[in-house]
Chains A and B, each alone.
Chain A
Amino acid sequence: MRRSMLFLPGNNPNMLINGNCLGADAVIFDLEDAVSPAEKDAARILVRNTMRYMDFRGCEIIVRINSIDTPYWKPDMEAIVPYKPGMLLLPKTGTASDILEADAYLTQLEEKLGLEQNTVGLMALIETAMGVENAFAIATASKRVRALFLGAEDLTADLQCKRTKEGREIEYARTRLVVAARAAGIAVYDTPFTDVNDDEGIWTDARYAKALGFNGKASISPRHVEAINSVFCPTMKEIEYAYEVMDAIELAKKQGKGAIALHGKMIDAPIVARAQQTIAAAEELGIRREED
């Protein structure tokens, strides 16, 4: 479960060694935008060693490598893949063939390292107009693609519009990505809220992303993690309702009924599916039903 994914600069040892203490479900070690070209090799070594020596139990490691139009992405993969990151975040993914290129090299590396194929997943960072338009093709290009991720900063530059706190300029991209990911049956994550000093705005932005259907949200500030976790966590009321739905279904089966109502509302397949998702999320987070 990735409610929150926290970006940590790959060239900042203090942030890296504290990365697993900041409450995020996943951390994204960044080798791309946070690191200047002169420091690419140093950051790569630092991130590799962090993965090699540090215990990140309970916190998934994702690494943002450099995009495939740079000379860095292959050395990035070579350094990182042996330490089996949860996923690699592939920036500036614009087409399905970008995925295929990354996929092919990953397959080579996995073979060389004796890893099972598709051990390392890809999360496609969609941050260009081309990427948005190709979202479904990207999402279905390979089995490695486990999630789409919206990057609104680069996207708004590409769209030639201003990035605002309200985010109306990225409304289309957000909904388009959610639809593409759902159609492909993979997860989808929202862009970070970039005003690190706005401790209230993050709540509004995260609630909006959840309302659109995103699975979680990235953050560039550790101070935003708690809000994101809290927003993307199912509420006790939702969990209780989900269990009631499952109990009702169970009862209907026993009684041999085809359809059943709960609180005066018919329970249909989508409601059951939603209830199952909620219970799965609650179990993963260790949240129990109150009477348990």
Chain B
Amino acid sequence: MNKLVASIREAVQFSGLKDGMTVSFHHHLRNGDFVLNMVMDTIAEMGIRDLTVNASSLFDAHMPLLNHIENHVVTNIITDYMASGLGREISRGIMENPVQFRTHGGRPSDIALGRTPIDVAFIAAPTADPMGNCSGKYGKSACGSLGYAFADAMYAKKVVVITDNLVPYPLADFSISEQYVDYVVTVDAIGDPRGIVSGTTQITRDPVGLVMASYAAKVIENSGLLKDGFSFQTGAGGASLAAAKFLKEIMLRDGIKGSFGLGGITGYMVDMLEAGCFQSLMDVQCFDLKAVESIRNNPNHREISALHYASPAVRSAVVDSLDVVILGATEIDTDFNVNVHTDSNGFIMGGSGGHSDTAAGSKLCMIIAPMFRARLPIVTDHVNCVSTPGKEIDVLVTQGGIAVNPKNPELKQRLAGAGLPVIDIHELKEKAERITGTPKQRKKGDRAVAEVIYRDGTHLDTIYNVK
């Protein structure tokens, strides 16, 4: 049996890809990814049209997609996140069919349930053997975890592994097993390492960010959840990382032994693992070199699939055991609904990723955001787009005070009792508006450019074009 094929073109040919089918990609190579563009360029050259691209996330490295949209090679996009360069163009209404935004848990769940079947999955693999056993831990393009690619490999009709580091059979420490793989292609480079992982993710030195981070750590300290067995997820943003640093100091001071750290993993979470704050890290994606090195060498740093991470359709996912998650927001409204899809002008500039999955699974979901961005208050009457419903959000931390969702009166009491600056969210909005004034509501366009689909497959919101 020979799975090795000569080129991407040959792999596409053998896969039987035809007009109207669906191809899929993972985003572990982030903004350094070459694979999506190489494959789509080849498909376009071969004259195949009307495809659906299902990608776990899209970055501005994928701007060439715009040509394929214009030429009707790509007529549908399904993704969990879209960076602002692409998002801006999509928001102008260049596609006939709205983009379908899912979540990191909803995407694999819908793939597994057959709601979004994949015809051919193209899996960028930093290391693979000739039968398709592959891993992200090794090779010049190492990215660590391959968590988002598992569902694609397991459920696509055909699976093509694309690697720039072919090793002799068997690659014993594989992530994705050969049992799912049809073809293996080698290329010179699957990506640019500089765009794949950051050298080190830096914590903020911005004083306002540090104030928010210190409040965030104190909220966790006083939430009643910070005890042995504690589990935690945080983002890679500056203030979130600073919160993790402060939390680590509290955990070490009080000798608290947590159970696991979850998520996209940074070096700061690795530091917490190594310092004994957690027994293990459950890693769906690595953000920096330190995380990649750790997942390669530390058996307590486990790779998990996106299904295991956050799917609402599996028997249990790790998010269901999560105590605290720290998340961001571009806007939050007085009902605590959070927008992470669009900017204040309505242009797409992100997506849920794991936002609503972790919000739903965790016991305490905290949003950290500054009271205002540029000239606009962060708290509004109605967000431009509901990415995560307010009922899943427990607390908003800003430099101007901490707003607790009224659904959680016990938390409010705990935080106020600890002397933290608790403030009603309406009052927080007014406080900001006293400085910025009340912004006018932006007029939406009349064409849907994206649909936001919740993790359970239900429709959450529609994003309209920007005129």
Binding site for B on A (CB under 8 A): 17-18, 21-23, 53-55, 221-223, 226, 286
Contacts and interface: CB of A to CB of B under 8 A. Distances in A.
A226 B211 CA distance: 10
Contacts of A286: 419
Contact of A18 (B208, B214, B419, B434): B208
For the complex of A and B, list the 5 residue pairs with the smallest distance between their C-beta atoms, beginning with the closest.
A222-B207, A21-B399, A18-B208, A17-B435, A21-B211
Contact of B207 (A17, A55, A223): A223
Contacts of A53: 434-435
A22 B434 contact: no
Nearest to B215: A21
Most chain B beta carbons < 10 A, residue from A18, A55, A222, A226: A18
Contacts of A55: 431, 434
Given A21-B211, A22-B207, A223-B205, 15 more contacts: A17-B435, A18-B207, A18-B208, A18-B211, A21-B208, A21-B371, A22-B211, A23-B211, A54-B434, A55-B431, A55-B434, A221-B207, A222-B210, A223-B207, A223-B210
Nearest to B436: A17
B400 interface: yes
A21 B400 contact: yes
Contacts of B399: 18, 21-22
Contacts of A18: 207-208, 211, 399
A128 to B, nearest CB: 31
A221 B208 CA distance: 11
Contacts of B210: 222-223
A54 B400 contact: no
Contacts of A17: 372, 435
A54 B435 contact: yes
Nearest to A13: B435
Nearest to A197: B205
21 contacts: A17-B435, A18-B207, A18-B208, A18-B211, A18-B399, A21-B211, A21-B371, A21-B399, A21-B400, A22-B207, A22-B208, A23-B211, A53-B434, A53-B435, A55-B431, A221-B207, A222-B207, A222-B210, A222-B211, A223-B207, A286-B419
A226 B210 CA distance: 11
Contacts of A22: 207-208, 211, 399
Contacts of B207: 18, 22, 221-223
A229 to B, nearest CB: 12
A163 to B, nearest CB: 23
Contacts of B208: 18, 21-22
Contacts of A222: 207, 210-211
A223 B245 CA distance: 15
A45 B236 CA distance: 38
Nearest to A224: B207
A282 to B, nearest CB: 14
A286 B435 CA distance: 29
A23 B205 CA distance: 16
Nearest to B210: A223
Nearest to A20: B400
A17 B371 CA distance: 10
